[in-house]
Chain A
């Protein structure tokens, strides 16, 4: 990785749909290892921004530079390769493959990245507290447990960036706290960069920095002085 201080650079990002603007010129930088939460009302463009950073969607104009790669310039297959090397995603819905077990869902991400390794995938699940659930299918697990598989799947290939879109949106307070504590402890060990979208103020207690979005603009940017530690 480079020693460029700004690991993620977004410049003047515009996303225009036929009927509306989702992003109206967003610029921001995120440093390597930083945990940033993006907040804002529904429809303010949070998911759109996250998806464009992760190369899942294209912008209308503007630049996204990650670790000195111009993401917007990559073609579809290079984007896929960029994602498998650099990005881990967690979504509000778990998007686990229903007929694969927990460990196999993690192995699928390994397979696309390089090589499936059951032992390593099992270790990753132990790390998120699912050591006893390796061979359960998603339907046999709770929502919180499913999201923990997603964390293991997102981080299995040691990406530089974790992009999380409402990862606790479907969870209750207790499970939300479990998930965020888990992310926090893994983040302290591995120092990847986190961009997390939420509209829940409770969630934004974790992390280093909060960006506020409204109507396709960034309207606030503040650092959290003291990061929550433990529960």
Chain B
């Protein structure tokens, strides 16, 4: 009964000042969204570091040192090297469907059967069949068994989609064709963009050296090097995001402090009166901290949703796939909202507790 009347009074008091409460929640939402986005992206990217290689079961990536193409012969040469268990050549490029540019990945489609990626549909059975990334299905309204016209450097080629691949990587947005088709579409003569190599564990440094010696002008990176390179970029992004976060958190605190300050000032008379009719300091704290909790929790929850969407948008843009965010993130976001709100409310509430009711209540 005592509690329920408190909530009744509290809700009346808050709805009295809806606008302010909403603005306070919004500023918390922004701050929490940035924090959530930062954590979501960071943890998501970590998970994806080197994942492009892992997805093919490779641990070395060979590309042309100069940034151009590799000769197809390199594939043969590399496959014969000691310690090399498996190789696959990939060529990347762009083609068009109805004037929309689509990424093309040329590779040995048969080798994908071992990767364990999800296939919706069938593997290509003949020359005219290709695979599409799952995201293209809705984006381009593709269907299995239907023909698509791809225009490339040499004019238009027709294919039939036999199935949709799903990995959660860049492939989900690409068309997967055989190497010969890719060469024809891109009008390049037996070239590769990269060769992915699975080398025997423990011998990667030696194998890398051999590859660089055997095929002139190549650069070889290990899975670990790829991951480290991506990570150092990530660190720079992280630093930037941390700076942004500090600024946004500070701004949110100031905003809450001034909202709460205005709240307390506006309600001087009410506070004075409550003291006069016997409210203890804890009674008064309860009112203001309840409002801070409401603002913080609402802002934190909204901020989580916004930060989550932001994270996924960034991930989609960067990787063409979504990120699994850590499970603690929603709880952490709400907690962050509460901390911001409570800390920022502390000072105005201390002021309110100091008000001398005798002085306030004689004011006109």
Contacts and interface: CB of A to CB of B under 8 A. Distances in A.
Given A91-B361, A112-B283, A56 B9 contact: no
Contacts of A83: 275-278
Interface in A31-48: 47-48
A99 interface: yes
Given A95-B269, A95-B276, 17 more contacts: A48-B358, A56-B357, A57-B358, A57-B359, A83-B275, A83-B278, A85-B278, A89-B276, A91-B361, A93-B361, A97-B270, A97-B273, A104-B9, A104-B12, A107-B5, A111-B2, A112-B279
B12 A99 contact: yes
24 contacts: A47-B362, A51-B358, A56-B275, A57-B358, A77-B280, A77-B282, A81-B278, A83-B275, A84-B277, A84-B278, A84-B279, A91-B361, A93-B364, A95-B273, A95-B276, A100-B12, A104-B12, A112-B274, A112-B278, A113-B278, A115-B1, A115-B5, A116-B5, A157-B278
Q: Which of B269, B277, B356 has the most C-beta atoms of chain A within 10 angstroms of its own C-beta?
A: B277
Contacts of A112: 274, 277-279, 283
Contacts of A48: 358
B6 interface: yes
Nearest to A99: B16
Interface of B: 1-2, 5-6, 9, 12-13, 16, 269-270, 272-283, 356-359, 361-362, 364
Contacts of B277: 83-84, 89, 108-109, 112-113, 153
A186 interface: no
A150 B290 CA distance: 27
A47 B6 CA distance: 32
A171 interface: no
A86 B262 CA distance: 33
A207 B22 CA distance: 51
A154 to B, nearest CB: 8
Contact-size category for A? 20 to 34
A76 interface: yes
A153 B358 CA distance: 18
A99 B274 contact: no
A116 B12 contact: no
A81 B278 CA distance: 6
Contacts of B283: 80, 112
A95 B364 CA distance: 10
A116 B13 CA distance: 17
A109 B361 contact: no
A208 to B, nearest CB: 25
